[in-house]
Copies of this chain bind each other. A is one copy, B any other.
Amino acid sequence: MESEKPQNPSPMEPQEEGSNKISKKEAAKLERQRRRQEAAAAAAATAVSIVSIEESDPLSGNYGDVELNDLQSKAVTGRKWTEVGSVTPEMKDQVVLIRGRVQTIRPVGKKIAFVVVRERGFTVQCVLTVKPELVSSQMVKYATSLSKESIVDVEGVVTIPEKPITGATQQQVEVQISKLYGVNRAVPTLPINIEDAARSEVEIEQALEKGEQLVRVNQDTRLNFRILDMRTPANQGIFRIQCQVENIFRQFLLSEGFVGIHTPKLIGGSSEGGSAVFRLDYKGQPACLAQSPQLHKQMAICGDFGRVFEVGPVFRAEDSFTHRHLCEFTGLDVEMEIKEHYSEVMDVVDRLFVAMFDSLNEKCKKELEAIGRQYPFEPLKYLRKTLRLTFAEGIQMLKEAGVEVDPLGDLNTESERKLGQLVADKYGTEFYILHKYPQAVRPFYTMPCHDNPSYSNSFDVFIRGEEIISGAQRVHVPEFLEKRAGECGIDVKTISTYIDSFRYGAPPHGGFGVGLERVVMLFCALNNIRKTSLFPRDPQRLAP
């Protein structure tokens, strides 16, 4: 970025007056002065124009706050930028240009300052040392004036420290700062400090044992200042994992002939006739937000797409205020023709999730480590071929363990957790499928079992004892679907579009729905779904 402004004159510099004769000493002084001014001019020309806090410094072009005008796309200079995460010992003696945040500043006297710069979760220690004609004491003073979390541009030479830098992710390198510009300052006092937000419970408790009280940032405060909270290494990891979960989901399904679709979130009736929906006025018509893409993804199957998936928001106006419910979450939905049996759907679940877990463990090591440092967890135990138990078998296992549950009712959260433990103990897996649920606890469109109408061709899938997936074969015959809806107390007229779509020849089909946030939460054994939603929505939270 070339500056259009004249180089900074130094008005406070002493001027020669009324003399043509210049002593050798003075000549040398002038020469030094000229060189400094040249250096400043060069700095000003290659860098942006800056607002120096020390106008008297001939090296003032090497540091200072960048003017807004220079950040308004003034020019394309072709300068090369280096990412903090890629600064390694191989770059020794190279000059690097970095843009990042001031994580910490530690002055040592007036001549040295250590600045830890962070970019996307990676940190590098940068050192500012007063050196004649390179770094002025005013520059060190400027550095210490920068507030934490301010965005800065740092230019400097990569060096190898004697001892590894434990306070940075790039432990084998330092950067000797030659230029330092403030790009955008953060307010001096932040509502939460990143180091506080990044602290593990273990660290807080260990400090407490030593009589030291460290700040604990609670969940609600984190969410109120989510923009700061997001910057912790754990959160950088969590949302990169989330992105990968979705990506593997999509790539796996695409490779198996599924088509990604988008179904409307604005619908005329209540999407499943079940739990509470968000209602709104749509140009004078009553409308609501889809509680799932269930009906439309089935329509896509009736529309000959064969196998479809959708990734999109799902809205539930329920009043659940638990660790695992949100009013808006990201649904991963699948629907597919089946030839004979709902096990074809479970086969997809099986292969998809084993592939997903394998890939996360293999490709997201850094992210999982970052999460584990703040929220320690054991890697998920899962089998190469996913365990399938029938609901009746699950009930029997619970019974043998002394837990009596209704064999035709649903499992509550506690029984699910207990069964998860029993399964983990017996089969060595924390990921399994429970199928053939009682018909009474499934939606009207679930296909009953061929030999016992009290049970259904349905399944749930569990990670660490918590449900993440619900799936089933659907009723594809319109007359039977009407009968089932009626039995479930649903006014058939309200879902006539849905039922009608099966009148034009519907293939047998099934599918499942997954909560993206739940997968990430449970894979990483996190204790709250709000940790895996970027901007969570619950009955009490609609901001930020």
Residues of A within 8 A of B (CB): 1, 68-77, 79, 81, 99, 101-102, 118-121, 147, 149-151, 183-187, 190, 226-231, 235-236, 239-240, 242-243, 246-247, 250, 254, 259-268, 278-283, 285, 287, 289, 296, 299-300, 302-306, 311-313, 315, 317, 319, 327-328, 330, 337-343, 447-451, 457, 473, 476-477, 480, 497, 501, 503-508, 516, 533-537, 539-540, 542-544
Least CB distance, A147 to chain B, in whole angstroms? 8
Which residue on B lies nearest to A450, using beta carbons? B72
CB contacts (< 8 Å) of A74 on chain B: these are 340-341, 450-451
- Indicate which residue in B72, B185, B243, B537 contacts A449 across the interface (CB closer than 8 Å): B72
CB contacts (< 8 Å) of A119 on chain B: these are 304, 306
- B504, A226: Cβ atoms closer than 8 Å: no
- A299, B227: Cβ atoms closer than 8 Å: yes
CB contacts (< 8 Å) of A289 on chain B: these are 280, 289
Least CB distance, A227 to chain B, in whole angstroms? 5
Least CB distance, A45 to chain B, in whole angstroms? 15
- B264, A537: Cβ atoms closer than 8 Å: yes
- Indicate which residue in B230, B246, B287, B473 contacts A304 across the interface (CB closer than 8 Å): B230
In the bound complex, how far is the Cα of B338 from the Cα of A506, in angstroms? 51
In the bound complex, how far is the Cα of B102 from the Cα of A306, in angstroms? 16
- A303, B231: Cβ atoms closer than 8 Å: yes
- A505, B73: Cβ atoms closer than 8 Å: no
Q: How many monomers of this protein are in the complex?
A: 2
In the bound complex, how far is the Cα of B74 from the Cα of A72, in angstroms? 67
Least CB distance, A272 to chain B, in whole angstroms? 16
Least CB distance, A452 to chain B, in whole angstroms? 10
- B450, A70: Cβ atoms closer than 8 Å: yes
CB contacts (< 8 Å) of A101 on chain B: these are 304, 505
- B287, A260: Cβ atoms closer than 8 Å: no
- A447, B505: Cβ atoms closer than 8 Å: no
In the bound complex, how far is the Cα of B68 from the Cα of A101, in angstroms? 64
Least CB distance, A491 to chain B, in whole angstroms? 16
- B184, A477: Cβ atoms closer than 8 Å: yes
- B184, A506: Cβ atoms closer than 8 Å: yes
CB contacts (< 8 Å) of A457 on chain B: these are 72-73
- B508, A184: Cβ atoms closer than 8 Å: yes
- Indicate which residue in B259, B302, B506 contacts A240 across the interface (CB closer than 8 Å): B259
22 inter-chain pairs at a CB distance below 8 angstroms, sorted by A residue, are A70-B450, A71-B508, A76-B341, A79-B339, A147-B505, A149-B504, A150-B505, A184-B477, A186-B504, A186-B505, A231-B304, A235-B303, A239-B261, A243-B259, A261-B534, A262-B330, A263-B534, A264-B536, A278-B282, A280-B289, A283-B317, A283-B542
Least CB distance, A221 to chain B, in whole angstroms? 14
Least CB distance, A288 to chain B, in whole angstroms? 9
- B501, A544: Cβ atoms closer than 8 Å: yes
- Could you say which of A77, A264, A265 has the most chain B C-beta atoms within 10 Å of its C-beta? A264
In the bound complex, how far is the Cα of B268 from the Cα of A457, in angstroms? 41
CB contacts (< 8 Å) of A151 on chain B: these are 505-507
Least CB distance, A208 to chain B, in whole angstroms? 29
CB contacts (< 8 Å) of A281 on chain B: these are 278-279
- A535, B263: Cβ atoms closer than 8 Å: yes
Q: A186-B503, A186-B505 are in contact. Are A303 and B227 (CB under 8 A)?
A: yes
Least CB distance, A321 to chain B, in whole angstroms? 11
CB contacts (< 8 Å) of A147 on chain B: these are 505
- Could you say which of A74, A315, A340, A449 has the most chain B C-beta atoms within 10 Å of its C-beta? A340
- B448, A72: Cβ atoms closer than 8 Å: yes
Which residue on B lies nearest to A347, using beta carbons? B76
- A504, B187: Cβ atoms closer than 8 Å: yes
- Could you say which of A71, A242, A338 has the most chain B C-beta atoms within 10 Å of its C-beta? A71
